[in-house]
Amino acid sequence: MIDVLKGAWALFFGLFLLMLANGLQGTLLGVRGAIEGFSTLQMSFVMSAYFVGFLGGSQLAPAMIRRVGHVRVFAALASLISAALLLYAVAPDPWVWTLMRVVIGFCYSAVYVTTESWLNNAATNENRGKTLSFYMIVQMAGIVVAQSLMTVGDPAGFLLFVIPSVLVSVSFAPILLSVTPAPFFERTKPMTLGALYRVSPLGAVGAFLLGGMFAAQFGMSAVYGTEAGLTVPQISLFVSAIFAGSLVMQYPIGWLSDQMDRRVLIAALAAIGGVATLIPVLLPVPFPVLLGVAFALGGASNPLYSLVLAYTNDYLEVEDMAAASGGLIFLNGLGASAGPLAIGWLMGRAGPNGFFGFVAILLFIFAAYALYRMTQRPTPDVEETGAYAPVFATASPVAFELTQEATIEAAEQAADRTEEGRDDAA
């Protein structure tokens, strides 16, 4: 891990600041929107817009980088993000916010592509897996720590919009001044959705459903908090608990996934998450219990994304793994774009607990589909499956390909060890 930090500390530090800004602005908008009198449906459009922009950025950013280079893309996007963050406070209008969220989603997606390209270039075969793990930890930690910044100022004021703008501006300094050279960027052509579904129906359906779940947590959790009457510190703790659960449970679930039928684990996690999210729907719960529900929700649902990727890889040839990433990202983006709109509609009719009801429905559908797929074909032997690698739900195509490269390298090393064992036996 020390070697990883020595070679890429500037990238990780810059990424941490970017995640602080992104985590803060998402929660802040949910609180400020209620102060401005925006309806739940209006806030659902605002929150959905980020994922629409993010999906567009993941498709267009590679061409931008190839045309003008990493540094120019970074500089242009930094100014756009900073300006959009300030315009939230200057023009508190739901349609202006929706437009700004599209812009910020697009810019953040392109920023992730750029940062992850540099990170992938800095990683070696020996430390790629550790680099990927630390990258995910930094992302999660940034979002969790960002929630504490909500108590620094008044959500009705201007300061909390200035802070993420400054963080974004500062974040680019260590990255652009790093001695790590900008890499040559080349993106793998994605696999078609039809081909991806034929290879792994559970992977394709899971990526779409998980997009909706993640958008609920990242985009609408603060809206739920305001509708439920939570205070600003309570909303911060609630959002933090979701992502803390995700961070803590990634590695136990990853270990389990390498020991058993992954479909069983997918069904079990989705069912556990679904049951946990039904608790506040069915019963009045005190705030500490609500935090436990949030932790269980994040711990059960977010690691499913990495689990779906690992399961899909089990049915792919090594040379097709990187191509499949594009299809999974696209399906995840579609689900994430639609998720806040569906939650906003449901919360408008069922009240705040429509948030938990929506997530529970998706989790139970996922669990049922995983059980159904178990009746359609046998699972590969555990010894023949690839390794689990953690990946965040907002991963860009580059992060996915970094994950796939780590998986491919692990598979090749395992094959080499098997071949050496056969030679020794001979």
- Residue the block writes with tokens 């806040």: 340
Single out the residue of 255, 253, 4 nearest to residue 130, CA to CA: 4
For 3-13, b where at least 16 C-beta lie within 10 A, e where not — what string?
ebeebbebbbb
- Residue the block writes with tokens 């050496």: 420
Question: pLDDT by residue (tens digit) across 156-197?
Answer: 888 999 999 999 888 877 766 665 555 555 555 666 778 888
Residue 195 CA to residue 201 CA, distance in Å, equals: 10
Residue 156 CA to residue 11 CA, distance in Å, equals: 33
Single out the residue of 167, 169, 291, 298 nearest to residue 230, CA to CA: 291
> 159-176 and 2-35 helices cross at what angle (nearest 10)?
160
Question: pLDDT by residue (tens digit) across 339-366?
Answer: 889 988 898 888 898 999 999 999 999 9
The answer to whether the beta carbons of residues 171 and 19 sit under 8 Å apart is: no
What is the structure's pLDDT at 279? 92
The answer to whether the beta carbons of residues 331 and 215 sit under 8 Å apart is: no
Residue 182 CA to residue 229 CA, distance in Å, equals: 47
The answer to whether the beta carbons of residues 102 and 49 sit under 8 Å apart is: yes
The answer to whether the beta carbons of residues 55 and 330 sit under 8 Å apart is: yes
Instruction: Give 109's DSSP letter.
Output: H
Other CB atoms within a 10 A radius of the CB of residue 259 amount to: 10
* Domains in the chain: ranges and CATH: 2-181+188-425 (1.20.1250.20)
Residue 366 CA to residue 210 CA, distance in Å, equals: 9
Sign of the Cα torsion 210, 306, 55, 241 reads positive
pTM of the model: 0.82
Above 80 in pLDDT, residue 415?
A: no
For 230-258, b where at least 16 C-beta lie within 10 A, e where not — what string?
bebeebbbbbbbbbbbbbebbeebbebbe
Average pLDDT over residues 88-97: 90
Average pLDDT over residues 96-105: 92
Residue 344 CA to residue 168 CA, distance in Å, equals: 29
Average pLDDT over residues 230-250: 89
R_g (Cα) of the chain, nearest Å: 21
Q: How far is CA 161 from CA 11, 149, 166, 203, 329, in A?
A: 24, 11, 9, 38, 30
Above 60 in pLDDT, residue 396?
A: no
What is the structure's pLDDT at 406? 59
Look over the chain and give the mean of its residue pLDDT values, rounded to a whole number.
80
